[in-house]
Amino acid sequence: MKEDLAKQRKGIIEFAKDLSKQEKPLANTEAGIREYVSAFNQLAANTKAGTPAFNAFVGVLAKAEKELEDIARATENARRAQLGLVSLEQEEAQKKRNQELQRNIELRRKRKKAIDDEAKAQDRKNEKDAREARRERERTKT
């Protein structure tokens, strides 16, 4: 009986490794994926951390969570489409463009300020030189 349990556990571990490696989704529905999450979460909780079996179980959990995120994104995009709103991807792209635009504007502003500061410094130097030249001329007159 103990041998049967060990054999079953080994089979579950191999199943988990296969699930992690395969390209196709774990299940077609959110409920089906959540069943995998529940089962493999319990298996991982009852397995010593760092072991190959634990890593296999956590691998399935990571894959399942990614699939749940994908389903949530698809659901949100469908909801947005029904409301006539842009998709999450389009919104993220727009935010990225806006951030890039803000960054470019800030860089231009900093460059302009640096040029203006340099011009002001040069003007002050020129004024100082002009004052010194006037003083020098006045001294040589007397």
- Whether the predicted pLDDT of 52 surpasses 70: yes
pTM of the predicted structure, to 2 decimals: 0.65
Under 8 Å between Cβ of 13 and 56: yes
CB distance 12 to 47 below 8 Å: no
- Domain extent, residue 100, equals 87-142
27 and 78 share one domain: yes
Banded model confidence at residue 2, pLDDT cuts 50, 70, 90: low
Into how many domains does the chain fold? 2
Q: Are residues 14 and 73 in the same domain?
A: yes
Q: Which residue has the tokens 């493999």?
A: 40
2 plus 70 within the same structural domain? yes
> If you average pLDDT over every residue of the chain, what do you get?
92
5 and 54 co-located in one domain: yes
Pair (79, 96) in one structural domain: no
For CA atoms 25, 27, 32, 37, the dihedral sign is: negative
Claim to verify: residue 140 and residue 94 sit in the same structural domain:
yes
Residue 59 reports pLDDT greater than 80: yes
